[in-house]
Amino acid sequence: MEKWRFIVTEGMSPAMNMAVDEAILQLHSEGKVPPTVRFYTWNPATLSIGYFQKAAKEINLELVQEKGIGFVRRATGGRAVLHDQELTYSVVVSESHPEMPSSVTEAYKVISLGLLHGFQNLGLDAEMVSLASDEEKEKYSSPGSSACFDSPSWYELVVEGKKVAGSAQTRQKGVILQHGSILLDMDVELLFSLLHFSSDRLKERMMESFRKKAVTINEVSNRPVSLQEAMEAFRDGFATGLKVELVKGELTPEERALAEELAASRYSTDEWNLRR
């Protein structure tokens, strides 16, 4: 069985978390590190926005700062995510890997199988729904909100008909980076307070719609699930889904150095984070 590296990094700043994902991608493209699954958390809790989002227009940046919440723009698309009571994952693998379909959608499905098995390992009745039809897209989407879990991806992971994970993917230098949030709990009111809406009425409507379409592990589990238990369940899930053996490893000194450089030059700068 093929061996991939499995890394759990300590709670990092928003800039470092995004920089580490990119550093792994870059060094994997150079053949210096193996395909990698990484689990991580955020310090402080952070609002991340998608690459194409307009920061000032969509986000209440003053309130983000006032509440001591981190802020960063991802290199991947999608909408705003509040990274707080969650396990975040990233998968980095070459586009040319024999098990990776060339289609973005199908590669997303293969990687997301790891998530599906992880939820099932926690005893949840999770399923993967293809959003091929307009009817399914409508069921899981809510246009008008900047919140990620309001927005459907190609294959949606659902429990009891509600979305349980949000993921995004980018391809650079012949390498796939997919990362996403596995929510243990979530402060929906805090998330929506950080987003701009044209009126309070619209905000309330969007929040209500969001609650109907998104759910956290601890809302659907019949017992409390800890971060450690989630890590074990999803580590096994990714190993099963990707059909690989995950071998515990660490970031190399070169990855850490490159990540620190990327964090300083890109992910912690207004030029990057507020560029749109």
Helix (H, G, I), strand (E, B) or coil at 233: helix
Q: Are 167 and 179 a contacting pair, CB within 8 Å?
A: yes
DSSP 195: B
Q: What does the block give as tokens for 31?
A: 């053949």
What secondary structure letter does DSSP report for 176?
E
CB 129 within 8 A of CB 138: no
Cα angle 22-26-29, degrees, rounded to a multiple of 5: 140
**Structural element, H or E, at residue 88:** strand 86-94
DSSP 8-state symbol, 249: -
Q: Is 40 buried (19+), middle (13-18) or exposed (0-12) by CB count in 10 A?
A: buried
Residues with catalytic roles: 148
Q: What is 12-36 written as a DSSP string?
A: B-HHHHHHHHHHHHHHHHTTSS--E
Q: Are 55 and 20 spatial neighbours (Cβ–Cβ below 8 Å)?
A: no
